[in-house]
Amino acid sequence: MVYPLLSVYLVVQLGASPAILGLVEGIAESAASLLKVFSGYFSDKIKARKPFAIFGYASSVVGKLFLYLSVSWGYFLFGRVIDRFGKGIRTAPRDALIADSAGQGKKGAAFGLHRAMDTLGAAIGVTLAYFLVAGSKDNIKNIFLLSVIPAALGVAFLFFIKEKKRTLQPQAKSEKIQFKWRALDKKLKLFLIFTFIFTLGNSSNQFLLLRAKELGNPLTKVILFYLVYNITYFLVSYPAGRLSDKIGRKKLLVLGYVFYGIVYFCFAVNKSPHVFWFLFAMYGLYIGFTEGVEKALVADIAPVNLRATTIGLHATLVGIGLLPASLLAGLLWKYVAPQAAFYFGAVMGLAASIGLAIIL
């Protein structure tokens, strides 16, 4: 309900610049990513996932309340940081819980199903936001408040989940969590380097929505573009996960990064408001074929007793690039041209795909 409205609310209603949008999204997403390795570590240490998931999702509920109360971009930033703080706390333990629960050779399907259900919820939320905005264009803040209801219900349902403690094996004394770069496996280090390169060009999706708005589409139509993205994402995620179980994760990741570069290039050159229907569908294909698959790949290579830590470490290292990515996109948008932000993303996506094809 909230996400497709954020850029328009911040830039149009609160009067912030695209550079401020990039700063806000970069800080919020980086803050989330920097927490993931620590939440993963403590999840492994106490051999529990569920408490972190509950606390993380509850924090996001509080963040939505601050968005409702925001009267300037500073308040807005605080709300986004709290929301993403919750994401940082919950992500690694939740993903480890999914991996723990998946059968042998079915991690891709498990993560694909998770992404599909997550995105189906997003599609329903976007649909609700569309009808609320269409009914009254001045009620964006009220939508922020209404979004607290399904968010709180989601937290409540988590209390009914019974975590299977037996899936968490006792940690061997010889297993130590290494945070030193030189202690990492060589191929893993190269993998992290090229995913970091990709992240530098993978700025916040808010810039895609802002681009659609600035080329003449009304807010209601921009919301529908985001709905198309989510529906495509939902339809592709589970089949992509199952396909990765059969043909391997690497091929899908490399092709996904290539596809990302092509889509971002199209966002740069497009000048027609109507082409965004196609572009957001194509972007949904990219994310559906890569996000769950990459999570499954990291889970594959992680030691069972350090699974949440490894997942969190990967997310943290990649997340370091989120702040400069969104900030750079905002600066390119403001001081060069909106197209420059997308050209840069396209180049980074293609460069990362070449690197991954070589090292994997």
- Rounded to whole angstroms, the Cα distance separating 98 from 313 reads 17
Structure tokens at 277: 């229907």
Please tell me whether residue 61 adopts helix, strand or coil conformation.
Answer: helix
- Rounded to whole angstroms, the Cα distance separating 140 from 163 reads 37
- Overall pTM > 0.85: no
The rounded mean pLDDT for the chain is 85
Give pLDDT tens digits for 158-169: 888 877 664 444
Whether CATH 3.100.10.20 fits 3-159+184-359: no
The pLDDT of residue 335: 92
Residue reference for tokens 């309900």: 1
Q: Domain limits of the chain?
A: 3-159+184-359
The mean per-residue pLDDT over the stretch 305-316 comes to 75
Give pLDDT tens digits for 205-223: 889 999 999 998 998 899 9
Residue pair 20/326 in contact (Cβ under 8 Å)? The answer is no
